[in-house]
Structure 1
């Protein structure tokens, strides 16, 4: 069995990988020419940080990197999109290098993405945000497949039909990359699996969300392995299956993430790609060296 690849989420616990940010208030305090200069400088710096993150992953043997959703602030606005397109050649080189070195790039758009909202305005804004993420993946020369996954949650509860319908109408750059993750409250793993099967998109199984939703007391509950296997059915390339892991901060069922991973489902030995959602980032990944022999 191939060893699972562990993924770094956004930044390092050290200061080695840090991105710049920009508030709307600060941007709008300037005229258009100054706004462009602010965005150009920020985007240039954040591309350099992305390259540093990829070099860090390469040096430490990490083959999965989740880029920050906010890596290019305001790139969903016309001015930001135009500025970002000016970096197309640089971004293309960065993305192609990741592919050549075997580093997988994914993104997890923020919680404001609710495709099945009953508000058309919220749906339109959600598609706008997703399009920005798809544009970033395109500029990075990433494939229009779930290899370059855009992970989102199910959104508004009890609106599975609306979610399936809206996924079907998404532009190709989004639809071909999108995947759905189970959460603690609105959509169980079983419900998300059903939606993924209907929509023809992959399921990202999160074992911690599952145990919180079902109020389980162990990652060894039979449903954890069962859902891991069912989620794999939704991936056209099973070897690209991606899952999440985190531990509760104050207790096993605490939805808040702990600093490290001290408990791992033994069934995750069969998961090819695992995003490590822990506060101490690379330290948590280092702490999982040889985990297959220690857990379960």
Structure 2
């Protein structure tokens, strides 16, 4: 049974309000408060989005990874003697977000970007990826979130070896990071069968992206027979499974996202998850409007 449904980052109903990014040269030009103001704006907008969601019956949300731009850059500490983790104004706003999340049972997640690749052949890329995961853990834990979703990474000409590198790096990560990490099947390289194999070696919970599975499955599995493995991967978390859904822009196998979720795609997923509790992240161009359309279609409050 579908429990919570949400969307990622941008709320189109609140435009022109938007999250602010920042360049390092701008911090040198205008000072550290220029960056602080942008971070504070981002946190205030996150609060506004969460309250909008609550008023519209949406209790799941993905926070932008750019919530605190630049904060992993060493120059901020070396040249400005500033850490976001010691900034009382920022920490207070994060605590405000956490209060909203906890009081309303909101499932909050983050999705580190495509440059977070822990199976890379380049040790520096792996090192930077782990730094980025540490940042996401520190942010997500302070916001009251639960899920940090990543992909397996590149293939590098040898898929089996790349998977083993992922397993080795994952198992070496700090337990605080692993507590939040989830592994999603992708639409190009790593199938659901692949990430379930990685789960068997790491216990990382699996996020099933149903559209990715449609686009990339090698016809190697009957998903109806394997869905219980996805569900079981969440046992140690005390959370129900988190799934992703999107519809192809111009057809079933189009990897580009449609503005909305097609009714037949939604019904197919509900059939797959019959009698299984799950939360659903909608990945559609129209964001919250796509969620509201699904809620209306399914007569959800």
TM-score normalized by structure 1? Answer: 0.87
Q: Which residue of 1 aligns with 2:153?
A: 155
Distance 2:58 2:244 in 1: 15
Give deviations 1:207-264, integer Å, cap 9, x for gaps.
Answer: 1001101378xxxxx8343343321110025652100000000111000000000122
Distance 1:257 1:27 in 2: 35
Q: CA RMSD in A?
A: 2.2
For residues 115 and 104 of structure 1, do their structure 2 counterparts lie closer, same or farther at Cα, with a shift above 3 Å needed?
Answer: same
SS in 1 for 2:14: coil
CA contact (8 A) 2:44 2:93 kept: no
- Deviation >4 Å, runs of 4+: 290-293
Q: Which residue of 2 aligns with 1:280?
A: 286
- 1:255-294 superposed matches below 5 A: 255-262=255-262, 263-264=265-266, 265=269, 266-269=271-274, 270-289=276-295, 291=297
Distance 2:281 2:195 in 1: 18
How far the C-alpha of 1:137 sits from its partner, in A, is: 1.8
SS in 2 for 1:214: coil
Q: Which residue of 2 aligns with 1:183?
A: 186
**Length, aligned pairs only:** 279
CA contact (8 A) 2:40 2:93 kept: no
Distance 1:246 1:71 in 2: 24
SS in 1 for 2:12: coil
Q: Larger deviation: 75-84 or 157-166?
A: 75-84
CA contact (8 A) 2:247 2:284 kept: yes
Q: Which residue of 2 aligns with 1:4?
A: 3
- 1:1-296 superposed matches below 5 A: 2-16=1-15, 18-28=18-28, 30=29, 34-78=30-74, 79=76, 82-86=83-87, 87-140=90-143, 142=144, 148-157=146-155, 158=159, 159-214=162-217, 223-236=222-235, 237=237, 239-262=239-262, 263-264=265-266, 265=269, 266-269=271-274, 270-289=276-295, 291=297
Distance 1:62 1:138 in 2: 21
How far the C-alpha of 1:84 sits from its partner, in A, is: 4.9
CA contact (8 A) 2:8 2:281 kept: yes
For residues 99 and 84 of structure 1, do their structure 2 counterparts lie closer, same or farther at Cα, with a shift above 3 Å needed?
Answer: same
For residues 176 and 6 of structure 1, do their structure 2 counterparts lie closer, same or farther at Cα, with a shift above 3 Å needed?
Answer: same
CA contact (8 A) 1:9 1:281 kept: yes
CA contact (8 A) 1:148 1:177 kept: yes
Give deviations 1:143-182, integer Å, cap 9, x for gaps.
Answer: xxxx611100011221111111111111222111101000
In the alignment, structure 2 segments of 5+ residues that lack a partner are none
SS in 2 for 1:192: helix
Distance 2:164 2:218 in 1: 26
How far the C-alpha of 1:5 sits from its partner, in A, is: 1.2
In the alignment, structure 1 segments of 5+ residues that lack a partner are 217-221
Distance 1:226 1:102 in 2: 31
Distance 1:112 1:179 in 2: 16
